[in-house]
């Protein structure tokens, strides 16, 4: 194998040559403490940067087995190293020529601790995957600068970020312990009969709509749960922790405007993920299958059985196998609910701010004026009890405007000046004193056999121009799959662009492997992808080792597939 001096020699030799001469450095090089892999060399200084990896043998990296033996610790260790490596890249980047010359970069993680393909750990080595802009002046190779960057710059960067003894031990341990505690906390929810848990002392508000770090300042009110909902749970590292348990069943979060309702719900949405120390939501955990539901008019719907909520549309369209290119507020929200249930959501999270009113409620006066025969919609208020009792699906609903849900709620939490109070008994008393006068609509069963949807592989086409497969992400907004743009901007539980990239690749994996012949329905397909990535890691998504991917849930994969405008499903009967 070539070594560091060989690389230096080659780079010096191609100094001043045309940019394509950089192709000569593809391959691997032995450095004193690691191996450098140059996997892909960019075609010119303005193109997507080159892809590199450094692999440090475990004896050199020195991470003791207990730091990576368990899945959650390994994920947290990788996440920590990704942060350290990304930070060091940014500091070492030195824009010294045309285009991306001098760039060193790895994706910078946000507030969630997630499995990331940018760092790989195996019993024998630790690997970082990153990109570099190989330096050029105009389109000429700056070989000496490249040698300085790679041969001289990488060794200290690698030593400082991938070797145990050089890392801040306190912060590293806190990272691992925090993730392990959150994971353990979430795993205790079912046994404790909870849909979610918010520890006392948690900081829920964020700095801004575009800054996910915790709000700071004297006005920030730390979370403190009411006594009646107080739960104590035991954590592997931090010992016992007390806070508010949100029981399974139907929970309302009520209160005046600006009192912190949506902030609490947003924290619960993110509670399916673990958070970094200092985030404020480290011990806010939600059932891992919880899905945020909202109205999303304009989305496409493909063959969804929305009869539990909508029947007898004026245009006579089939709501057992409902299809539209342009959903309304209510049909989109109905489809969002049924698609979430289809792939196993056990908790639905709704905020009236983003819901379709007519799917949520129809009050007595409206029932009087518009008779049932003239109204296709059965509002959620008449379905949530069936959901909770028949299917064991819990609901957590933020409501400030309608008291009609008091009759169907198990728990009512009032947010008052950012402090939760248990007002369940009071809400029940109010419900008794002030009957709504409304008739329960269509209390009949859900349609007996839910229709199964089998996605058809040939309705997916990853080709674009001359490329057989073209898949990209546009921030948190869209998956670009072939020539299709899948709008994912309303999926509140996507938090990292790497998840969007990974979902794009996962759709392709699903198409190639699980949609044809396998006889899998939508749930079967997304869970097959989940099983594959759980077993083989995120590398199962690509044929090359790429540092671009971040772990995602089956729910968001299904949501993206369901929004692909070319998707066709075949219907089949449930068991
Ligand atoms: P609601 O949904 O009840 O109308 P929000 O959750 O949107 O209210 O909160 C209103 C404002 O209060 C937001 O700007 C939010 O950041 C802030 N806020 C929420 N919770 C807290 C808290 N615990 N301490 C300080 N400010 C908070
Ligand atoms: Mg709100």
Ligand 1 contact via 204 beta carbon (within 6 Å):
yes
Q: Indicate if ligand 1 lies below 6 Å from the C-beta of 263.
A: yes
Is 516 a residue whose pLDDT tops 80?
Answer: no
Q: Whose CA is nearest to atom 9 of ligand 1?
A: 260
Task: With beta carbons less than 8 A apart as the criterion, state whether 526 and 343 touch.
Answer: yes
Please name which of 143, 190, 142, 146 lies closest in space to residue 36, comparing C-alpha atoms: 146
Please give the pLDDT value at position 490.
98
pLDDT at position 448 over 60: no
**Residue 230 φ/ψ, nearest 5 degrees:** -70, 135
Q: Tokens standing for 328?
A: 């309304």
pLDDT over 70 at 518, yes or no:
no
pLDDT, residue 526, reads 98
Q: What is the pLDDT of residues 303-352, one digit of tens each?
A: 999 999 998 888 888 899 999 999 999 999 999 999 999 999 999 999 99
pLDDT band at 573 (very low <50, low <70, confident <90, very high): low
Going by CA atoms, what residue is nearest to atom 16 of ligand 1?
Answer: 205
105: Cβ–Cβ under 8 A, 6 or more apart, which residues?
Answer: 49, 86, 89, 90, 93, 130, 131, 132
> Using a 6 Å cutoff on CB, does residue 261 contact ligand 1?
yes
Out of 203, 224, 260, give the residue to mutate to test ligand 1, the one with the largest number of ligand atoms within 8 Å of its CB: 260
Q: What is the pLDDT of residue 373?
A: 82
> How remote is the CA of residue 208 from the centroid of ligand 2, in Å?
14
* Backbone angles phi and psi of 468, in degrees to 5: -70, -35
Query: pLDDT at position 443, please?
Result: 57
Strand-pairing partners, residue 247, are 194
What is the rounded radius of gyration, in angstroms, for the C-alpha atoms of the chain? 26
Q: Is 280 in the pocket of ligand 1 (CB under 6 A)?
A: no
Instruction: Report the separation in Å between the CA atom of 417 and the middle of ligand 1, taken as the mean of its atom positions.
Output: 8
Sequence spans of domains, the chain: 2-167, 191-290+346-448, 452-574
Residue showing tokens 């002046």:
137
Ligand 2 (single-atom ion) residues, CB below 5 Å: 262, 353
Q: Is 259 in the pocket of ligand 1 (CB under 6 A)?
A: yes
3-state secondary structure (DSSP) of residue 251:
strand
What is the residue with the minimal CA distance to atom 10 of ligand 1?
258
Mutation test residue for ligand 1: of 258, 400, 401, the one with most atoms within 8 Å of CB: 258
420 within ligand 1 shell (Cβ under 6 A): no
For residue 402, give both structure tokens: 């309608």
Q: What is the layout of strands, in order, in the sheet containing 484-487?
A: 471-474, 478-481, 484-487
Q: Which atom of ligand 1 is nearest to the CA of 255?
A: 3
* Of the candidate ranges 179-193, 405-419, 514-528, the one whose mean pLDDT is the lowest: 514-528
Mean pLDDT, range 251-277, rounded to an integer? 97
Mean pLDDT of the residues in the chain: 95
Ligand nearest to the CA of 255: 1
Tokens linked to 552:
């995602």
Indicate if the pLDDT at residue 442 is higher than 80.
no
Would you say 131 and 150 are in contact if contact means Cβ atoms under 8 Å apart? Answer: no
Nearest atom in ligand 1 to the alpha carbon of residue 263 is 6
The CATH number given to 191-290+346-448 is 3.40.50
Angle between helices 554-563 and 522-536 (to 10 degrees): 130
243: CA distance to ligand 1 center in Å?
Answer: 19
Looking at the CA of 414, which ligand is closest? 1
Spatial separation of the C-alpha atoms in residues 230 and 205, rounded to whole Å: 21
DSSP letter, residue 215:
P
Mind listing the pLDDT tens digit for each residue in 97-107? 899 999 999 99
Whether the pLDDT of residue 153 is over 70: the answer is yes
Number of H helices, E strands in the chain: 15, 30
Q: Which sign does the torsion angle of CA 494, 498, 499, 503 carry?
A: positive
Q: Quick one: which atom of ligand 1 is closest to the CA of 353?
A: 2
Most confident of 291-305, 429-443, 512-526: 291-305
| HEC readout, 61-89 | HCCCHHHCCCHHHHHHHHHHHHHHHHHHH
What is the phi-psi region of residue 392: left when phi exceeds 0, alpha when psi lies from -120 to 50, beta otherwise?
left
Q: Which of 24, 22, 511, 555 is nearest to 290 (CA)?
A: 555
* Residue 275 Cβ < 6 Å to ligand 1: no
Contacts of 266 (CB under 8 A, 6+ apart): 204, 206, 492
Who's near 60: CB < 8 A, 6+ residues apart?
A: 33, 34, 163
Cα dihedral 273, 297, 549, 557 in deg (nearest 10): 80
Predicted pLDDT of residue 519: 84
Cα dist from 421 to 253, 287, 426, whole Å: 10, 22, 11
pLDDT grade for 405, boundaries at 50, 70 and 90: very high
Work out the average pLDDT over 512-523.
88
Residue with tokens 């393909």: 117
Give the burial string for 70-96 (b: 16+ CB within 10 Å, else e).
Answer: eebbbbbbbbbbbbbbbebbeebbeeb
pLDDT, residue 575, reads 42
* Residues facing residue 536 across a β-bridge: none
- The pLDDT score that the predictor gives to residue 299 is 98
Tens-place pLDDT, residues 464-488: 999 999 999 999 999 999 999 999 9
With a 6 A CB cut-off, is 255 part of the ligand 1 pocket? yes
Distance 323 CA to ligand 2 centre (A): 31
Contact 182, 189 (CB under 8 A): no
**H helices present in 406-450, as ranges:** 424-433
Task: Determine whether the shortest distance from the Cβ of 262 to ligand 1 is under 6 A.
Answer: yes
């Amino acid at each position: 194998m070539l070594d560091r001096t060989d690389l230096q020699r080659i780079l010096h030799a191609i100094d001043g040559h045309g940019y394509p001469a950089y192709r000569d450095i593809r391959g691997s090089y032995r450095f004193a403490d690691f191996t450098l892999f140059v996997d892909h060399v960019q075609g010119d200084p303005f193109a997507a940067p080159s892809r590199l990896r450094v692999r440090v043998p475990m004896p050199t990296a020195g991470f003791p087995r207990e730091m990576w033996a368990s899945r959650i610790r390994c994920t947290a260790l990788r996440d920590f190293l990704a942060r350290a490596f990304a930070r060091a890249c940014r500091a070492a980047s030195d824009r010294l020529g045309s285009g991306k010359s001098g760039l060193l970069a790895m994706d910078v993680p946000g507030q969630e601790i997630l499995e990331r393909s940018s760092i790989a750990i195996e019993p024998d080595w630790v690997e970082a995957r990153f990109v570099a802009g190989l330096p050029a002046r105009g389109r000429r190779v700056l070989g000496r600068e490249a040698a300085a960057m790679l041969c001289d710059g990488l060794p200290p960067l690698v030593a400082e970020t991938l070797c145990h003894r050089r890392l801040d031990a306190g912060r590293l341990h806190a990272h691992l312990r925090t993730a392990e505690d959150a994971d353990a906390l979430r795993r205790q929810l079912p046994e404790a009969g909870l849909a979610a848990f918010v520890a006392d002392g948690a900081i829920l508000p964020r700095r801004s709509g575009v800054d996910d770090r915790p709000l700071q300042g004297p006005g920030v009110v730390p979370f403190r749960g009411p006594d009646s909902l107080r739960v104590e749970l035991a954590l592997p590292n931090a010992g016992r922790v007390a806070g508010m348990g949100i029981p399974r069943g139907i929970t309302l979060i009520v209160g005046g405007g600006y009192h912190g309702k949506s902030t609490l719900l947003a924290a619960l949405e993110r509670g399916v993920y673990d958070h970094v120390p200092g985030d404020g939501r480290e011990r806010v955990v939600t059932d891992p299958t919880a899905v945020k539901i909202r109205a999303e008019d304009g989305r496409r719907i493909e063959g969804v059985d929305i009869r539990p909520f909508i029947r007898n549309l004026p245009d006579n369209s089939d709501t057992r196998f409902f299809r539209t290119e342009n959903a309304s507020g209510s049909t989109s929200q109905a489809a969002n609910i049924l698609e979430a249930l289809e792939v196993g959501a056990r908790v639905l999270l709704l905020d009236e701010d983003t819901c379709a009113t007519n799917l949520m409620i129809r009050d007595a006066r409206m029932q009087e004026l518009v008779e049932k025969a003239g109204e296709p919609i059965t509002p959620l208020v008449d379905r949530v009890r069936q959901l909770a009792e028949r299917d064991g699906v819990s609901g957590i609903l933020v409501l400030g405007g309608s008291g009609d849900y008091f009759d169907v709620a198990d728990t009512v939490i009032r947010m008052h000046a950012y402090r939760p109070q248990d007002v369940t008994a009071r809400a029940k008393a109010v419900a008794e004193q002030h009957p709504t006068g409304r008739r329960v609509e269509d209390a009949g069963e859900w349609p007996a056999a839910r229709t199964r949807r089998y996605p058809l592989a040939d309705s997916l086409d990853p080709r674009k121009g001359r490329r057989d497969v073209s898949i990209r992400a546009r921030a948190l907004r869209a998956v670009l799959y072939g020539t299709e743009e899948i709008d994912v901007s309303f999926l509140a539980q996507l938090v990292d662009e790497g998840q969007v990239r990974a979902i794009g690749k996962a759709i392709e994996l699903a198409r190639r492997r699980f949609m044809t012949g396998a006889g899998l329905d939508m749930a079967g397909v997304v869970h097959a992808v989940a099983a594959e990535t759980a077993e083989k890691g995120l590398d199962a998504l690509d044929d090359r080792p790429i540092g671009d991917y971040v772990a995602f849930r089956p729910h968001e994969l299904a949501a993206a597939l369901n929004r692909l405008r070319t998707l066709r499903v075949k219907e089949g009967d449930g068991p």
